[in-house]
Amino acid sequence: MENSTKSIGKGIDRIDGILKITGKATYATDYPAKNMAYAVLFKSTIAAGQITKIDSTEAEKYPGVIKVITHENAPRLNTKGGLRGGALLQGPEIIFHGQHIGIVVAETFEQATAAAHLIKVEYNQKAEKTNFEKLAETPTMPKGKELADQVRGAGKSAMKTAEVTVEELYETPIEHHHPMEPHATMAMWEGDKLTLYNGSQIINGAQTAAAATLNMKPEQVRIISPFIGGGFGSKGGQWANLVLTAVAAKMVNRPVKLALTRQQMFNSVGLRQRNMQKLSIGATKEGKLVALAHEIISHTAINDEYIEPCGDCTKIMYDVPNSLITYRVVPMNIILPTYTRGPGKSTGSFALESAMDELAYKLKMDPIELRIKNEPPKDPSNGKPWSSRTTVKCLQEGAKAFGWDKRKAEPGTNKIGDDLIGYGVACGTYPARQRDSSAIIKLTLKNKVVHAKVEIAASDLGTGTNTILAQTAADGLGLPVNQITVKLGDSDLPPAAGSVGSVGASSFANAVNDACIKITDELLAKSGKQFFVRPTAAQLMISESFTDFQTRSDSKAPAEAEKYSAHSFNANFAEVRVNSITGMVKVTRFLAVTGAGKILNPKTARSQIIGGNVWGIGMALTEESVIDPRYGNFATRSFADYHVPTNLDIGNLDAMFINEEDLIPNKMGVKGIGEVGIVGVAAAVANAVFNATGKRVRSLPITPDKLL
């Protein structure tokens, strides 16, 4: 009885689904404003040097043009305000190809675009640092403390004591986020108050960064972002386009819209950096690991550092007494890399889980058995106990569901016609954390019906945050979901964490849940009555005829959580078919089994996981951005060159969740699924390709030429 009325755990449809499919959901550029002007960015065509002259005379004369803004007339901004990637028109310096060097504002987008082509720019070009292979020969130490060398036991020197070893170099290329909704902003000034309509994964982060950059107070800036068309990390930290829209609006004294083109998305909002990863594993003949080393070289921007933590999985996945993780970096004339789905873990797990697979073949051991044999009883990186760890369960339940026993251990022996069939497995993990978030609940009683409004400056990337918060409030207040309204995506609401690093669901849901508990307590106190069975907030509103009531709660992670190591875990199973003549690969079946604590909504959760799987398959098979080192520009510069996987590349995708209750990381036991869905995916596919063909591809993506 009790259970059937609960909403959490049910795969209900998105509460905003109808709005989205009818086009009524408002994204950043969907807001009308009177007297709107349109801004278009123009970009540098060199990678390093200085602008010596910008001639915008022709552009200024062009019909409809209102203003051309360059470093020569842009206002001085605070470049350390927290925006990523620079390019704020503060000087003539050019540090990457495609850096914004100006804005044209016009009556229409088309006029602004046409005028931008009339601007003549002269440069004093410098030798550019754009050749990663060359520069990687002499990398430097990263500045970040968390990226210092991590040595456990005898470190890499223990490789000498191993009976069986794997030492290989794994490479992953530059990738782009390319959310369906390109980055776009609408800026509107009222006196010294600024409103920015802008897809933002971290509402309060966008607010503080924009305010600081514009030398304003946060309360002067309001961010409105109720719907986001995806972000994958690129709308986590904000980029220059956010503030440049505000600058343009100020300078022309009108509301301004600025939307990046798909083309501009390649070099405006960060990227996943290219990584060279040397992975060494030493084991006994029985398959017990004795040494593990992960040595990583990545690139960063000339003026700032971001490095994907590729060693993070390696740190905790296996029980090994001696290990080494090192990061080295080369600053390059390329846009600053940034958080990209499963940052570090997705790319790092490709190296680690490929190497584990290679070791399994060398040992003639089943790769699942090898992993289980090296299961760590506690977190090897810090000695803390696991809050829970589901790797073995994921592997075992997945193996059964996938039919792992049908795998042929000998590579290249499973053939149907011209096609080779292969099975691969790989594991993944992502930390489970809760971050500070606040929520307000407002209850009203009208015609004997209680309605609840939930307010929180959370964000919904398109993943279903709106829906899971409605479900959380429904259960917490004793109401059906359709009597809940969720308001998020507005910096005027109580501050919250962001939809980043898989902290969104746990932080937001716990904040709402805490607010539900608090409001019920307060209503109880207000009633002045004692109840034998604790009534719900909804029941109290009705029985006590309260017409309006509201409360706010500020939530934090439980102090206890610090003493444990808390993570989501997964196991990925891939079946591939490789055409033995053309080398073309199709992932015919893919299964991800995930232990991520409480699953608030299995439907949206499944979508999250299979979405991550698709990108992981793209990472494995198709996605690569190439820089021409002579110019520093991308030679892959549209979706005709930058290939994301299509329906024909992927057959059946399936997601399973481990039934897990882990209340240590947070009260609700929610661990987060956004990131882990991509971790281990590329390795599972690459391992399956090896099983199919006997060819080990260590440099992604696995395109047909690599399998000839």
Partner 1 sequence: MKPFQFISATNPGDAVARLTKNPEAAFLGGGTNLLDLMKEHVSLPNEIIDIGNLSLKEIKATATGFHLGALAKNTETANHPLIRKHLPLLSKAILAGASAQIRNMATNGGNLLQRTRCSYFYDISMPCNKRVPGSGCAALEGFNRMHAIFGWSEQCVAVYPSDMAIALSALNATVKVKTSVAERLIPFKDFHLLPGNHPEKDNSLAHGELITGIEIPNNSLAAHSAYVKVRDRNSYAFALVSVAAGLSLNGNLIQSAHLAMGGVAHKPWRALQAEDFLKGKPATIANFTKAAELEMASAKALPNNRFKIEMGRKTLINALQLAFKG
For the annotated catalytic residues, the residue numbers are 675
Q: Is 58 in the site for partner 1 (CB under 8 A)?
A: no
CB 469 within 8 A of CB 488: yes
Decide whether 128 or 455 has the Cβ nearer to partner 1: 128
Q: Is 584 in the site for partner 1 (CB under 8 A)?
A: yes
Q: Is 180 in the site for partner 1 (CB under 8 A)?
A: no
With CB under 8 A as the contact rule, the residue among 164, 631, 694, 695 that binds partner 1 is 631
Decide whether 361 or 634 has the Cβ nearer to partner 1: 634
State the minimum distance, in angstroms, from the CB of residue 116 to partner 1: 10
| Distance from C-alpha of 489 to C-alpha of 465, rounded to nearest angstrom | 11
User: Among 34-42, 213-221, 634-642, 661-669, which window interacts with partner 1 (CB under 8 A)?
Assistant: 634-642
Q: Is 562 in the site for partner 1 (CB under 8 A)?
A: no
CB 287 within 8 A of CB 363: yes
Structure token digits, residue 428: 């993944």
State the minimum distance, in angstroms, from the CB of residue 647 to partner 1: 7
Site for partner 1 in 635-674 (CB under 8 A): 635-638, 640-641, 643, 645-649
Decide whether 664 or 685 has the Cβ nearer to partner 1: 685
Q: Parallel, antiparallel, or unpaired: how do β-strands 627-628 and 585-595 relate?
A: unpaired
| Distance from C-alpha of 540 to C-alpha of 528, rounded to nearest angstrom | 11
Q: Is 167 in the site for partner 1 (CB under 8 A)?
A: no
CB 7 within 8 A of CB 481: yes
State the minimum distance, in angstroms, from the CB of residue 616 to partner 1: 15
Q: Is 53 in the site for partner 1 (CB under 8 A)?
A: no
Place of tokens 């696991």: 386
Name the DSSP class of 132.
Answer: H
Distance of CA 396 to the CA centre of its chain: 28
Distance of CA 563 to the CA centre of its chain: 26
Q: Is 126 in the site for partner 1 (CB under 8 A)?
A: no
Q: Is 633 in the site for partner 1 (CB under 8 A)?
A: yes
Q: Parallel, antiparallel, or unpaired: how do β-strands 322-332 and 548-555 relate?
A: unpaired
Decide whether 289 or 614 has the Cβ nearer to partner 1: 614
Decide whether 311 or 618 has the Cβ nearer to partner 1: 618
State the minimum distance, in angstroms, from the CB of residue 99 to partner 1: 12
The alpha carbon torsion through 157, 158, 164, 170 (nearest 10 deg) reads -50
Q: Is 626 in the site for partner 1 (CB under 8 A)?
A: yes
Which CA distances in Å does 331 have to 101, 132, 353, 497? 21, 9, 28, 30
Which CA distances in Å does 474 have to 46, 142, 537, 597? 55, 47, 10, 20
Binding mask 679-708 for partner 1 (x = CB under 8 A): ------------------------xxx--x
Closest among 381, 379, 361, 378 to 369, alpha carbons compared: 361
CB 206 within 8 A of CB 238: yes
Q: Is 533 in the site for partner 1 (CB under 8 A)?
A: no
Decide whether 218 or 704 has the Cβ nearer to partner 1: 704
Q: Is 117 in the site for partner 1 (CB under 8 A)?
A: yes
SS3 409: coil
Q: Is 565 in the site for partner 1 (CB under 8 A)?
A: no
User: Among 388-396, 523-531, 559-567, 578-586, which window interacts with partner 1 (CB under 8 A)?
Assistant: 578-586
Binding mask 30-49 for partner 1 (x = CB under 8 A): ---------------x----
Binding mask 240-279 for partner 1 (x = CB under 8 A): -----------------------x----------------
**Type of residue numbered 610:** I
SS (H, E, C) 512-575: HHHHHHHHHHHHHHHHCCCCCCCCCHHHHHHHCCCCEEEEEEEECCCHHHHHCEEEEEEEEEEE
Decide whether 578 or 668 has the Cβ nearer to partner 1: 578
With CB under 8 A as the contact rule, the residue among 331, 583, 602, 694 that binds partner 1 is 583
Contact positions vs partner 1 (CB under 8 A)? 45, 110, 113-114, 117, 263, 581-584, 586, 621-622, 626, 628, 630-631, 633, 635-638, 640-641, 643, 645-649, 703-705, 708
